[in-house]
Amino acid sequence: MTRTPRNTFCGRTRREFLGQVGCGFAGLPLVALLSRDGFFANDPKSNPLHPKSPHHSPRAKACIFLFMYGGPSQVDTFDYKPKLYPLDGKTIDIQTKGRGGTKGQGRVVGPKWTFSQYGQCGKHVSTLFPHLAQHVDKLAFVHSMYAESPLHGSAMLMMNSGSLLSGSPCLGSWVNYGLGSENENLPGFVVMLDETGGPISGAKNWSSGYMPATYQGVVLRPKGAPILDLACPPGTTRPMQRRLLDTLREANEAHAAARPHDDALAARIASYELAYRMQQHAPEAVDLAREDARTRTLYGLDDERTADFGRKCLLARRLVERGVRFVQIYSGGNHNDHNWDAHGDLVYNHTRHAGATDRPIAGLLQDLAQRGLLDETIVIWGGEFGRQPTAEYAEGTGRDHDSAGFTMWLAGGGVRAGTSFGATDELGNAAVEHPLHVRNLHATVLNLMGFDPNRLSYFYAGLDRKLVGPQGAEPVWDLIA
């Protein structure tokens, strides 16, 4: 009497899954590779990274999440609030909740940049993003985002994993769990960090939580060896390593011959050959010397201010081209003004970070579009929350965190371009029209990638866990073309 649970992915029952964990998970990520080499009969469902069919025909094959860590201010970027300018410096009654706690009053900081209209859609964009503004007809803005926490630690976890608490897999992990990998020479979930350091909570932001490490994000560095331990150590050349691997394989095959039918041994032998190939392919994937001067300029590699983020955007395109499913790039790292967390001097902070990212992001959109990749690649822009219309301190232009209403945008991959969705109140403080929880954003991304977010589940600790939580979440249909 076999019963297939309704809401379980891949028709796998929880007991089968637990059984694999207990005794049979060894070697599974490589089964696909091995079966091509004649090791196994076809049993694709036992390989967690084997390319899989999603629930429905996907609009997007890949996703690039441009994470503006620290929280960019909506009213200074894309959420045009003309009524805010004349209130500059005035203290008004306003309900806010941020790092400084819950307040009923605040001194307005008028937007520090002017807005103009762009594109056929006539979208208002501030002068912080002159290059990106040229692409507004590719973008779908969401002005009514809200999150459950106005504090970095938990808000970062929520934006990445849907939960305020650490221990759950991230969006990138879910995408790889659901779709598998198209390129066995590269990780399926790649994270690129800011030069100044990781975001707070570090690796928790690309953790696979209760899923196996197979699905966790791999940190990729834009300079030097892109992946930890990818380069041969000093004193060892590639031919030397090849020679070593030959001996190793011979010895391991002799060992395995005396132990027939052991998938784990076979998989480990194959993993060394795969690693050897990765050492060849991964540097190629990140080798920007192959990009022509026009492309390099497009991404801002010719300007010191934009070169770092531009390099990462260009890498993201190259990775997506090569089948990587999920790429996350952090703008900002470390603490304080090293990221978008503008508590003190808003103008200094946002000029710095927008200045470093505007041209690269515009370049990425244009490049993806001209190569026909934008149709199948979702680009997401946003932070873990936004910023308040009022000042945090008695002096200065710094804004406190605002999770009650903030702006994100999406592009490509089946997103309805040239639109704006939802709205904050007239001061840009809180979402009032079509408020969208972070889970709705996640649900939309999963939907575009071919999944019913309320069915994509992973059985763990007594529950079919979902990225959108036990309560579930609907995709935002208005955002889908």
Partner 1 sequence: MSRAGSSATKAPLPLRAVSVAPRSPRAANRALALLLAAPLGAQAGVGEWSYSRLTRLEAPATRDVRWVSNPIDAFVLARLEAKGLAPNPRATDATLIRRATYDLTGLPPSPEDVAAYVADRAPDKYERLLDRLLASPQYGETWGRHWLDVVRFAETDSFERDRLKPAAWRYRDWVIDAFNHDKPYARFVLEQLAGDELPDASFESIVATGYYRLGIWDDEPTDPAQAVYDDFDGIVDTTARAFLGISMGCARCHEHKKDPIPARDYYRMLAFFEGLKPYKDGGGNATTPANYVKQVPVDFGHERIEEELAAWRTRREALLAEAKNLADEAIARLDEPSRVALAAERDAGLVQRFDRDRPAERRIPRAVQDDFTIAFRFASTEIGRGRATDPHWFSGSPLVDGEVDGVTDDFGVALVAGHVAAGTGNPDMSVHSSGGLADGAPHHVAFTRTRGTGRIALYVDGVLCSEATGGTQSLAAPATLAIGRIGAIDDLRIYARALDAQDVLDLCEGGGFSRSTERVVEQKAGTPESKRWRTAVDELLRLMRPVRETVEVLCAQESGTAIAPSFVRQRGNVHSKGDAVRAGFPEALGGGEPVFEAPAHGESSGRRLAFARWLLQADHPRTWRVLANRIWQHHFGRGIVRSSNDFGRLGDEPTHPELLDWLACEIVATGGRLKAIHRLVMSSSAYRMASDHRDAAFDADPRNDRFWRFERRRLTAEELRDSILCVDGSLDLRRGGPGVYPPMPAEVLATSSRPDEAWGRSSPEDAARRSVYVHVKRSLLMPLLSSFDLADTDTSCPVRFVTTLPTQALTMLNSEFTNERARVLAERLARERPGDERAQLARGVELVTQRPARDDDLARLTALAHDLRTEHAASPDDALRLCCLALLNLNEFVHLD
Asked whether the beta carbons of 113 and 79 are under 8 A apart, the reply is no
Min dist CB 165 to partner 1, Å, is 6
Asked whether the beta carbons of 89 and 106 are under 8 A apart, the reply is no
Comparing CB distances to partner 1, the nearer of 254 and 293 is 254
Query: In whole angstroms, what is the distance from residue 353 CA to residue 339 CA?
Result: 7
Query: In whole angstroms, what is the distance from residue 311 CA to residue 309 CA?
Result: 5
Min dist CB 325 to partner 1, Å, is 16
Query: In whole angstroms, what is the distance from residue 142 CA to residue 406 CA?
Result: 8
Residue type at position 243: R
Min dist CB 199 to partner 1, Å, is 6
Comparing CB distances to partner 1, the nearer of 89 and 202 is 202
Query: In whole angstroms, what is the distance from residue 44 CA to residue 26 CA?
Result: 15
Burial code (b: 16+ CB inside 10 Å, e: under 16) for 305-330 equals ebbbbbbbbbbbbbbbebbbbbbbbb
* Enclosing H/E stretch for 142: strand 139-146
Min dist CB 476 to partner 1, Å, is 24
* Enclosing H/E stretch for 401: strand 399-402
Specify the residue for token string 């912080």. 128
- Measured in whole angstroms, the distance separating CA 142 from the mean position of its chain's CA atoms is 17
Min dist CB 275 to partner 1, Å, is 4
Query: In whole angstroms, what is the distance from residue 268 CA to residue 254 CA?
Result: 14
Min dist CB 322 to partner 1, Å, is 15
- Measured in whole angstroms, the distance separating CA 116 from the mean position of its chain's CA atoms is 29
Comparing CB distances to partner 1, the nearer of 130 and 469 is 469
Comparing CB distances to partner 1, the nearer of 97 and 442 is 97
Comparing CB distances to partner 1, the nearer of 383 and 450 is 383
Query: Which DSSP symbol is given to 183?
Result: -
Tokens of 131: 């290059």
Min dist CB 281 to partner 1, Å, is 11
Min dist CB 101 to partner 1, Å, is 7
Min dist CB 228 to partner 1, Å, is 5
Comparing CB distances to partner 1, the nearer of 176 and 397 is 176
Q: Nearest-5° angle of CA 44, CA 47, CA 50?
A: 70
Comparing CB distances to partner 1, the nearer of 211 and 361 is 211
Comparing CB distances to partner 1, the nearer of 214 and 349 is 214
Comparing CB distances to partner 1, the nearer of 255 and 371 is 255
Query: Which DSSP symbol is given to 97?
Result: E
Asked whether the beta carbons of 54 and 178 are under 8 A apart, the reply is yes
| 3-class secondary-structure state, position 346 | helix
